[in-house]
A and B are shown apart, each in its own frame.
Chain A
Amino acid sequence: MRSARRRYTGSSESIPDNSSTQERKIQHIQIIVDEKTQYRKKTTMLELVEVQPNGGAIAPREVDIESELLGKPVLAPMFISGMTGGHPATLEINKNIAMAAARFSIPMGIGSQRSMMENGDLLYTYAMKKFAKELILIGNIGASKLLIYQDERIQEMIDSIEADILAVHTNPGQESIQPEGDLDFRGVLKRIIEVANGIRQPVIVKEVGNGISKEVAARLDGKVYAIDTQGAGGTTWIGVETYRNKSKYGDAFWDWGIPTALSVLEAKSAFSGPVWASGGIRTPLDIVKAIAIGAERCGIAQPVISSERKGGSEGVYRFLSETSEGVRKEMARLGFSSLKELAKAKVTFKDPLKSALIDRNIKL
């Protein structure tokens, strides 16, 4: 294992050290944990999904919730959405989450590696395999940042932390409200596809809380490994930026976005690869419903970081244990013995989710 505390040097591009990016990371964590930056009027719409029981209830011990990802076993249909990294204070958070995720053999995302690209000294805040060798680690970079960096530099960025997957996050909503936001997305889609072809690791495209539509999913179909919806209903990053910047115009967009359940169904209707559900996933029943409508696995963020802040790595492990046991119990109650069975469940939809699906010509 190489030392994670070495400096990341990058290569050709010269990007100045940007300490404001680092400070923003810390502000984000504080705001998410302490403040009310959840959607106000919008939910995930998972409450409008009903999973029909598969015969009678079975015993929880008969339920298998394991799956595989890139040939590695995953013990529960969850992953930890990327949240942080890039500030010395985020090391402890990522380390605590990584150790718990590895014990549970579930994938873990990290926050945007942009800080590390700007200041190589920060690599150690992302390089979690030093603490959890078996961890399935998901690297992370903003879609608009792909316009700045060549493929070789992206490959170095991923390899330097030994990430197994690269998540490319697209966040035009958040960028619109950030005073320092990137508001030029011309060529971003083309660049995502180039990078997906140009690096060794699989690429996932994820939103940051506003969801992926079927139009966007169709443009990514066959081009990237997976989509992570990160739909509306949980933390709103437009809300986080509105709060952080006391934005005058952000409030109107606080509830902007596609609810998570709707986004999973939109993405599944146009994308043939795996669709991961995240955005407001809070309970075991949320996870069961998301899988029943087509998600391969579910991402959780805010409850994980809250658990970490309260109880460190043990707090995260306890949360993951309780949630996965809850998934097993919900599946047992509904009579599903495996995730494959659950993926074929009969589901019904209530309005307004049902009418939205009809409007959008999405098969029920």
Chain B
Amino acid sequence: MIDSIQFVHCAIPDMALSEADTAYRLSEGFTLPCPMAVQASSESDAVQLSGSGAMPSVFQKSVFVGGKLAGRLQSSQTVEVEDGLDAARAIRLLGNSVLPCIKRTDADKAGMLIRQLRIAMFLTNSINIGALSQAPIYRFK
């Protein structure tokens, strides 16, 4: 489903990549530093992952940031993504009721995946996640 859309490239963005603000407010009302989380294998794993890693973590419905519980998913769904571009597509397609997640085995790639997300924001001239969720797309049929 995520593959069905492609972003329209912006050849002259009016921003710097470093300006891309990845803060992500889920529909439940709590905000994450980035719109991706690592799928943890247990609650203690989630606490440890989010405390030491670059990304939030999620176990079942609980989302952790910096080793602490940030909130619980109620209506929002998690969706598994392979890279930061996939995460950007998921947000564009499904809005802030989705939390893109990477596999536990990809936890060590978190920094790289966030970098990919920021590149997607830069190349769509999206200064923040709100702008990314409105960025022009193609829906190739």
Contacts and interface: CB of A to CB of B under 8 A. Distances in A.
Interface in A250-267: 252-253, 256-258, 262
A215 interface: yes
B17 A249 contact: no
Given A186-B14, A249-B112, A252-B116, A356 B9 contact: no
Interface stretch (B28-36, B58-66, B132-140): B132-140
A213 B136 contact: yes
Q: Which bucket holds chain B's interface residue count?
A: 20 to 34
Nearest to A207: B11
B8 to A, nearest CB: 5
Interface in B1-57: 7-19
Interface residues of A, number: 37
Interface string A185-218: 1111100100000000000010100111101100
Contacts of B10: 172, 213, 215-216
Contacts of B9: 173, 207, 210-211, 213, 256-258
B112 A248 contact: yes
Given A211-B9, A213-B136, A219-B12, A351 B141 contact: yes
A252 B88 CA distance: 12
Given A249-B112, A351-B141, A356-B138, A256 B123 contact: yes
Given A172-B122, A172-B123, A176-B122, A252 B141 contact: no
B11 A172 contact: yes
B91 interface: no
B135 to A, nearest CB: 10
A61 interface: no
A15 B91 CA distance: 42
- Residue of B11, B14, B18, B109 ringed by the most chain A CB atoms within 10 A: B11
A185 B13 CA distance: 6
Given A184-B17, A185-B13, A249 B140 contact: no
From B9, B17, B119, B122, name the one whose CB has the most chain A CB atoms within 10 angstroms: B9
Nearest to A352: B140
Interface string B79-102: 000011110000000000000000
Contacts of A176: 17, 119, 122-123
Interface in B95-120: 109, 112-113, 115-116, 119
17 contacts: A172-B11, A172-B12, A172-B122, A177-B119, A183-B16, A185-B15, A192-B12, A207-B11, A213-B136, A249-B116, A249-B119, A252-B116, A253-B85, A256-B123, A257-B9, A258-B8, A352-B138
